């Protein structure tokens, strides 16, 4: 009676596992039958875009030193320390010249108090003129570069999430490279533009005291630069570039942005990007506009001027708008880039590969054909060699595939072409486990044991061997999953699920079927 009760509980547990797996598989077969998500297909199966990006970490370091240079200027002005020259020189160094002992002493105090992280490379005097060369220690410079890569990855991930790509694969590849795989992407050009856009938003004053024409001829005044705005001529469809003489100093950046969204101008019926600042950004923007009424404020994005309106009055409320003859799609992508944040440094596309959906469909078809052919040969072999017991193994084999598919859907794992190879491999492993068990049962029956005793002994003798082999494979699969990328990870996923499913079907499912016939149906002979 105890054996029957135990069998009933095992049967109930096995039945529950199978039903759950089928429920998760149903959306893949018939999406309308169940609201759960279907199995995700990888880049090689549904098509999409593969990119390898390299972050220009040297630019990130240059940007940091430029910021430090500006901070030195600000602190020196507040401390009434005067310098002859302050420049960023080759090799990511800062050079400063000071004259007079008071200025030298004041700057030394400033270094000790505010810039302890800077390293003094050289210190030379010529009369009462001191020349200092500063830089960042190698450890701190390396940390800035690493943080730039990490920040770039997170920024790209945020942009892609808002872009609406399902199951993107974004990960580090080396020290400053980022792997991006976007399955199912249709508009690859738009995706590349969105990913590669630095999205550095700056507010700068126009230099209206110097001659723009002279600057265009090369006579650019100190502290200013020439930037361009672009606009498409509606009649000729040509791009018109408009030059502006802009002060280099950035009054406000997009670091204080809290939101960016697309809105439609009621007067011209054109889309624009509305931006909101946080409290500090709003206060700074109000202070900037109040101090520069009747002056032109340029809105600069990635060194391109989108607009340069005249400040009519102090702007409060922490709101601004970016106009530029956008299409709705361009405005939406710009809003996404601004919301996700600016890239800390430019990114370069090192490798680009596009997989068409037809190629992916062909890969699925060939993968399924190979799985079906291989599975059919295995099924026939088991029936011919092990007769009725082979049918039990074949039933377990079919359920093994269903369990793997259910696991892929339940965990929202991505199925790749190597993943299909992993499923085929686990089919062989599942059969191998049954072969070990059946051979042990045959050995026990050959020495005269009853079918029930032979089954018990066969499973007891084979279990340890099966566990050793499968656990070893599972460990290898987990290592591949942890350290592998792209297709290798897809193989590791299906292999891991396949090993677990094989252990379940071989040691629990088939044992339950044998016990059902030998205990409940009281079968006296065993076809094996």
Domain spans of the chain, in order of start: 2-47+356-520, 58-140, 197-353
- Quick one: average pLDDT of 5-12? 78
182 touches 42 (CB < 8 A):
no
**With 60 as the cut, is the pLDDT of residue 56 above it?**
yes
Determine the average pLDDT of the residues in 437-459: 90
List pLDDT tens digits, range 186-214: 778 888 888 888 878 889 999 999 999 99
Q: What is residue 490's predicted lDDT score, i.e. its pLDDT?
A: 80
Structural contact between residues 323 and 306, judged by C-beta atoms closer than 8 angstroms: yes
Q: How confident is the model at residue 360 (pLDDT cuts 50, 70, 90)?
A: low
Q: What pLDDT, on a 0 to 100 scale, did the predictor assign at position 275?
A: 87
Contact status, residue 52 vs residue 364, Cβ threshold 8 Å = no
Q: Answer whether residue 500 shows pLDDT above 90.
A: yes
pLDDT at 359: 62
Determine the average pLDDT of the residues in 110-138: 89
Which whole number is the average pLDDT over 328-347?
Answer: 83
Beta strands in 127-279 (DSSP E): 129-135, 169-172, 177-183, 201-205, 224-232, 239-247, 252-253, 257-264, 271-277
Question: Cβ(493)–Cβ(413) under 8 Å?
Answer: yes
Q: Which CATH architecture has domain 197-353?
A: 2-Layer Sandwich (3.30)
pTM above 0.95, yes or no: no
Q: Region of 301 please: left (phi>0), alpha (psi -120 to 50) or beta.
A: beta
Which tokens sit at 101?
């002992």
The 10s digit of each residue's pLDDT in 67-96 is: 888 889 888 988 999 999 888 887 788 999
Q: What is the pLDDT of residue 36?
A: 63
Banded pLDDT at 358 (limits 50, 70, 90): low
Overall fold of domain 2-47+356-520: Multidrug efflux transporter AcrB transmembrane fold (1.20.1640)
Segment among 42-51, 215-224, 295-304 with least mean pLDDT = 42-51
Q: Is the pLDDT of residue 2 over 60?
A: no
Q: How much of the chain, in percent, has pLDDT values that exceed 70?
A: 95
- What local confidence, expressed as pLDDT, does residue 32 receive? 64
pLDDT band at 522 (very low <50, low <70, confident <90, very high): confident
371 pLDDT band, cuts 50/70/90, is: confident
Q: Can you tell me the mean pLDDT for 337-361? A: 79
Residue 481, pLDDT above cutoff 70: yes
Which CATH number applies to 58-140: 3.30.1360, 3.30.390, 3.30.70, 2.10.260? 3.30.1360
Band of the pLDDT at 50, cuts 50, 70, 90? Answer: confident
pLDDT over 80 at 7, yes or no: no
pLDDT of residue 47: 77
pLDDT over 90 (residue 345): no
Distance from CA of residue 78 to its chain's centroid?
Answer: 43
Chain position carrying tokens 């790509």: 165
**What per-residue confidence (pLDDT) applies to 34?**
64
Q: Do domains 58-140 and 197-353 have the same CATH topology?
A: yes
Share of residues in the chain with pLDDT > 90 (%): 26
Q: Do the beta carbons of residue 144 and residue 61 sit within 8 Å?
A: yes
Q: Which of 38-42, 71-75, 298-302, 479-483 has the lowest mean pLDDT?
A: 38-42
Write down the mean pLDDT value for the chain: 85
pLDDT given at position 234: 66
Predicted confidence band at 3 (pLDDT cuts at 50, 70, 90)? low
Pairing of strands 40-41, 414-415: parallel
Mean pLDDT value across residues 442-466: 90
């Amino acid at each position: 009676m105890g054996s029957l009760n135990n069998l009933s509980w095992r049967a109930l547990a096995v039945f529950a596992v199978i039903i759950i797996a089928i429920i998760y598989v149903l959306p893949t077969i018939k999406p309308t039958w169940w609201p759960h998500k279907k199995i995700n297909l990888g880049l090689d199966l549904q098509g999409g875009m593969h990119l390898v990006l390299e972050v220009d970490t040297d630019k990130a370091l240059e940007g940091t030193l430029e910021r430090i240079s500006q901070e030195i200027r600000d602190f020196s002005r507040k401390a009434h320390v005067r310098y002859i020259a302050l420049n960023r020189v080759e090799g990511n160094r800062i050079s400063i010249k000071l004259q007079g002992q008071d200025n030298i002493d004041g700057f030394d105090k400033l270094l000790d108090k505010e810039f302890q992280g800077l390293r003094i490379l050289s210190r030379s005097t010529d009369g009462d003129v001191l020349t200092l060369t500063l830089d960042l220690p190698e450890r701190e410079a390396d940390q800035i570069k690493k943080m730039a890569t990490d920040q770039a990855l997170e920024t790209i991930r945020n942009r892609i999430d808002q872009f609406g790509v399902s199951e993107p694969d974004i990960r580090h590849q080396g020290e400053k490279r980022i792997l991006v795989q976007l399955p199912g992407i249709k508009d690859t050009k738009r995706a590349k533009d969105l990913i590669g856009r630095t999205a550095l938003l700056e507010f700068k004053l126009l230099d209206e005291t110097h001659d723009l024409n002279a600057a265009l001829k090369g006579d650019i005044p100190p502290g200013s630069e020439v930037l361009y705005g672009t606009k498409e001529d509606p009649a000729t469809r040509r791009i018109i570039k408009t030059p502006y003489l802009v002060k280099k100093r950035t009054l406000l950046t997009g670091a204080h942005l809290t939101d960016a969204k697309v809105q439609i101008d009621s007067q011209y019926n054109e889309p624009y990007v509305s931006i909101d600042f946080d409290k500090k950004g709003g206060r700074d923007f109000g202070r900037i506009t109040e101090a520069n009424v009747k002056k032109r404020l340029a809105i600069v994005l990635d060194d391109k001027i989108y607009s340069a309106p005249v400040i009519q009055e102090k702007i409060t409320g922490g709101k601004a708008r970016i106009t530029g003859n956008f299409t709705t799609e361009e405005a939406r992508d710009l809003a996404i880039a601004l919301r996700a944040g600016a890239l800390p440094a430019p990114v370069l596309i090192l490798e680009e590969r596009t997989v068409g959906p037809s190629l992916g469909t062909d890969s699925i078809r060939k993968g399924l054909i190979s799985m079906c052919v291989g599975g059919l040969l295995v099924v026939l072999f088991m029936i011919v060699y092990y007769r009725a017991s082979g049918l039990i193994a074949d039933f377990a084999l079919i359920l093994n595939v269903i369990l793997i598919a259910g696991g892929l859907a339940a965990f929202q794992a991505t199925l790749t072409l190597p993943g299909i190879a992993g499923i085929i491999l686990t089919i062989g492993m599942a059969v191998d486990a049954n072969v070990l068990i059946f051979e042990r049962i045959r050995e026990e029956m050959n020495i005269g044991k009853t079918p029930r005793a032979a089954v018990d002994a066969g499973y007891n003798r084979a279990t340890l061997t099966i566990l050793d082999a499968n656990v070893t494979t599972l460990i290898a699969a987990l290592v591949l999953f942890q350290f592998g990328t792209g297709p290798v990870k897809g193989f590791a996923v299906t292999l891991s699920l396949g090993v677990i499913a094989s252990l379940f079907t071989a040691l629990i499912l088939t044992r339950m079927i044998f016990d059902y016939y030998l205990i409940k149906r009281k079968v006296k002979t065993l076809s094996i």
